[in-house]
């Protein structure tokens, strides 16, 4: 399928890249990525998100150690020139803050790709908000108020390589009028 639409093309071509070149990312590009997060849809336009741009080497190293506990593929997070942390305030909408933060993160990942940058999503949100969770530790490292929740870390940088991966066909994923399994 040939995609002529710029947005659909960015969606189809974006891939998670885990290794970045040491090249810095211009502040203008980071601001553009943040703008994409700011323009994400939210329930009743609550806009519950706040973004933290982390460039400090010590903080990136600490976030890298935590992220590697989640999955070893995240151990090079400190190699990203910037990490955008998406936080949300559940008091603005207790029922939809997770989706709102997730869609803001996705917007930023797509914007990064459209600017020739790479990113990958590190899920940090802890459903039960346990005291020993990665989310709580990220909040400590970045001095995030306890009432806020951390949805994700989004390392941003110039990709060190390109990744090609296939997707399932739309036919395999689509149902009409009701869910229909192969055995039905």
- What pLDDT, on the 0 to 100 scale, is given for residue 76? 72
> How many structural domains compose the chain?
1
- What pLDDT, on the 0 to 100 scale, is given for residue 101? 95
148 located within any domain: yes
167 located within any domain: yes
C-alpha to C-alpha distance for 131 and 84, rounded to whole angstroms: 23
For 1, other C-beta atoms within 10 Å of its C-beta total: 5
Q: What is the pLDDT of residues 23-48, one digit of tens each?
A: 999 999 999 999 999 999 999 999 99
Average pLDDT over residues 170-183: 80
C-alpha to C-alpha distance for 152 and 4, rounded to whole angstroms: 31
C-alpha to C-alpha distance for 54 and 82, rounded to whole angstroms: 6
Q: How far is CA 127 from the centre of its chain?
A: 17
Confidence category of residue 6, pLDDT binned at 50, 70, 90: confident
Rg over alpha carbons for the chain, rounded to the nearest Å, is 17
What CATH number is attached to the domain comprising 103?
3.40.109.10
**124, 181 contact by CB (below 8 A):** no
**162, 173 contact by CB (below 8 A):** no
Confidence category of residue 123, pLDDT binned at 50, 70, 90: confident
pLDDT at 108 over 80: yes
| pTM score, whole prediction | 0.85
Average pLDDT over residues 7-12: 71
Among 109, 125, 82, CA closest to 16: 109
- What pLDDT, on the 0 to 100 scale, is given for residue 71? 67
| Mean pLDDT across the chain | 86
Average pLDDT over residues 87-113: 94
Provide the domain limits for residue 106: 19-173
13 located within any domain: no
- Please name every residue paired with 179 in a beta bridge, in sequence order, or none if there are none: none
6 located within any domain: no
178 located within any domain: no
**154, 121 contact by CB (below 8 A):** yes
pLDDT at 140 over 70: yes
**41, 93 contact by CB (below 8 A):** no
68 located within any domain: yes
Which 3 state secondary structure label does DSSP give 71? coil
Confidence category of residue 2, pLDDT binned at 50, 70, 90: low
C-alpha to C-alpha distance for 10 and 7, rounded to whole angstroms: 5
Q: What percent of the chain has pLDDT over 90?
A: 52
- What pLDDT, on the 0 to 100 scale, is given for residue 75? 61
**124, 136 contact by CB (below 8 A):** no
């Amino acid at each position: 399928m040939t995609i002529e639409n710029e947005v659909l093309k960015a969606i189809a071509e974006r891939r998670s890249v885990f290794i970045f070149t040491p090249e810095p990312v211009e502040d203008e590009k980071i601001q553009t990525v943040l703008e994409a997060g700011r323009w994400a849809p939210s329930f009743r336009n609550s806009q519950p998100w706040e973004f933290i741009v982390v460039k400090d080497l010590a903080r990136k190293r600490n976030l890298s150690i935590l992220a590697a506990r989640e999955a070893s593929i995240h151990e090079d997070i400190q190699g990203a020139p910037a990490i955008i942390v998406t936080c949300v305030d559940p008091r603005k909408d207790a029922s939809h803050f997770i989706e709102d933060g997730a869609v803001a993160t996705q917007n930023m990942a797509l914007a990064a790709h459209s600017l020739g940058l790479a990113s990958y999503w590190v899920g940090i949100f802890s459903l039960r908000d346990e005291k020993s969770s990665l989310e709580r530790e990220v909040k400590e490292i970045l001095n995030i108020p306890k009432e806020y929740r951390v949805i994700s870390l989004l390392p941003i940088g110039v990709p060190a390589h390109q990744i090609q991966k296939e997707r399932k066909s739309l036919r395999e994923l689509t149902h009409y009028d009701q869910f229909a399994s192969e055995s039905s």
